[in-house]
C-alpha cells in the first residue's frame, strides 16, 4: 500500500490501528539496526581548546562527534543528518554504501558534511537522495550552490526530495513518518521508522505531533545539558518528555560537554532512559 496516496486523516487512522506495532504492515520483514554515529552538540566533545573534566576525559563515551544516526534495514542504509564529522563517521562505521540521507534541519552541525557524499556517488553512479523540508532544501542549495549549478565531473550529486510533517513516504518498502517539532521557534523534523522515533535539537513538540510519537518502543531525543536553553531541551525537560512518551527505552543525544562526565550522569538516569554514546548499536 502506498502511504503517499493517503490523506492525513487516513494516515492517522492507520497510525491508531497499528499503534502497538506501528506500520508493521509496511515495514520490511527484517530487523532494523540503529547505530549512533555521533551524539554531541554542535561543537562536539571535546570542545576545541577546552580543559574541562569532560573534554579531558579518557572515557570513550565522552568523545562525541556531531549528532547523526545510521538506520540499517537489510541492505538499505539510511543516514539521519550529515554534519561536519560525516566523513569520519562513515569511515569509523565502515559504511560502504548509503541509500539516502534524511535531514532534520539546516544548521551546519546537521548538513555541512554533504560535500563528502562523493565516494557514494562514484560507487553507485547515482545522485544521493536527500530528504528535507523545502525550506531546508533551499538552505542546502544556498550553502552548496556549486553542487546545484552546471554539472561538473567530480562534484557531489544530490537529488533533493521535499518532505512535509504530515506526509509519510516509502523507501524500498520501509515507511518513514516525518514528525514536525520545534527547535525554539524553528520548525524542524524528527522521523519515526517502525518502533523507533528519532528527534534531535528539539525544544518542544506540538500536541498534534505527539500522537505520531506515542507507542514508539524506542525513542531517541536530545538533551543538551542542565541549564535552560531557548532552542534545546535541557536534561530535566528531556526526562519529562521521555516520561510523557513512555517508550520502553529512551536514549538522549546531542549532548554538550556541560552535561558532565558520562560515567557520572549515567548514574542519574531513570529506568529505561540512558545517555547515548558514539558507536552504540541497537537492533529494533
Considering only 6, 50, 261, 269, the residue that binds Zn ion (CB under 5 A) is: 50
Total binding residues toward Zn ion, as defined by CB under 5 A:
9
Candidate ranges 15-23, 109-117, 164-172, 268-276; the one touching Zn ion (CB under 5 A): 109-117
Q: What is the DSSP letter of 105?
A: -
Considering only 201, 209, 237, 278, the residue that binds Zn ion (CB under 5 A) is: 201
Residue 55 near Zn ion by CB under 5 A: yes
Those residues with Cβ within 8 angstroms of residue 16's Cβ, 6 or more apart along the chain or in another chain: 211
218: its cell numbers: 524506542
Candidate ranges 38-46, 203-211, 239-247, 260-268; the one touching Zn ion (CB under 5 A): 38-46
50: its cell numbers: 577546552
- 99 vs 109 by CB, closer to Zn ion: 109
Which CA distances in Å does 105 have to 23, 84, 178, 182, 240? Answer: 25, 14, 12, 10, 24
Residue 109 near Zn ion by CB under 5 A: yes
Candidate ranges 16-24, 48-56, 128-136, 276-284; the one touching Zn ion (CB under 5 A): 48-56
- 77 vs 104 by CB, closer to Zn ion: 104
Candidate ranges 36-44, 164-172, 209-217, 261-269; the one touching Zn ion (CB under 5 A): 36-44
Residue 269 near Zn ion by CB under 5 A: no
Those residues with Cβ within 8 angstroms of residue 11's Cβ, 6 or more apart along the chain or in another chain: 3, 166, 168
Binding site for Zn ion (CB under 5 A): 42, 47, 50, 52, 55, 107, 109, 201, 257
Amino acid at each position: 500500500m502506498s502511504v503517499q496516496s493517503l490523506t492525513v486523516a487516513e494516515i492517522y487512522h492507520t497510525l491508531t490501528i497499528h499503534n502497538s506495532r506501528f506500520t508493521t504492515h509496511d515495514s520490511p520483514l527484517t530487523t532494523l539496526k540503529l547505530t549512533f554515529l555521533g551524539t554531541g552538540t554542535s561543537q562536539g566533545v571535546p570542545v576545541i581548546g577546552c580543559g574541562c573534566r569532560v573534554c579531558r576525559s579518557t572515557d570513550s563515551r565522552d568523545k562525541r562527534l556531531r549528532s547523526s544516526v545510521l538506520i540499517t534495514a537489510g541492505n538499505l542504509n539510511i543516514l539521519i543528518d550529515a554534519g561536519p564529522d560525516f566523513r569520519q563517521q562513515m569511515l569509523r562505521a565502515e559504511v560502504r554504501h548509503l541509500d539516502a540521507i534524511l535531514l532534520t534541519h539546516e544548521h551546519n552541525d546537521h548538513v555541512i558534511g554533504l560535500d563528502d557524499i562523493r565516494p557514494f556517488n562514484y560507487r553507485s553512479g547515482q545522485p544521493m537522495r536527500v530528504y528535507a523540508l523545502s525550506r531546508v532544501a533551499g538552505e542546502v542549495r544556498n550553502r552548496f550552490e556549486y553542487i546545484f549549478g552546471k554539472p561538473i565531473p567530480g562534484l557531489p550529486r544530490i537529488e533533493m526530495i521535499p518532505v512535509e510533517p504530515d506526509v509519510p513516504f516509502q523507501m524500498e518498502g520501509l515507511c518513514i513518518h516525518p514528525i514536525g517539532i520545534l527547535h525554539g521557534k524553528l520548525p524542524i523534523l524528527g522521523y519515526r521508522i517502525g518502533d523507533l522515533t528519532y528527534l534531535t535539537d528539539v525544544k518542544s513538540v506540538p500536541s498534534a505531533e505527539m500522537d505520531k510519537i506515542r507507542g514508539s518502543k524506542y525513542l531517541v531525543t536530545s538533551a543538551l545539558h542542565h541549564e535552560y536553553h531557548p532552542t534545546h531541551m535541557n536534561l530535566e525537560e528531556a526526562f519529562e518528555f521521555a516520561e510523557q512518551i513512555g517508550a520502553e527505552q529512551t536514549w538522549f543525544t546531542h549532548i554538550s560537554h556541560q552535561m558532565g562526565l558520562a560515567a557520572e550522569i549515567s548514574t542519574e538516569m531513570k529506568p529505561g532512559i540512558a545517555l547515548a554514546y558514539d558507536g552504540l548499536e541497537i537492533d529494533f
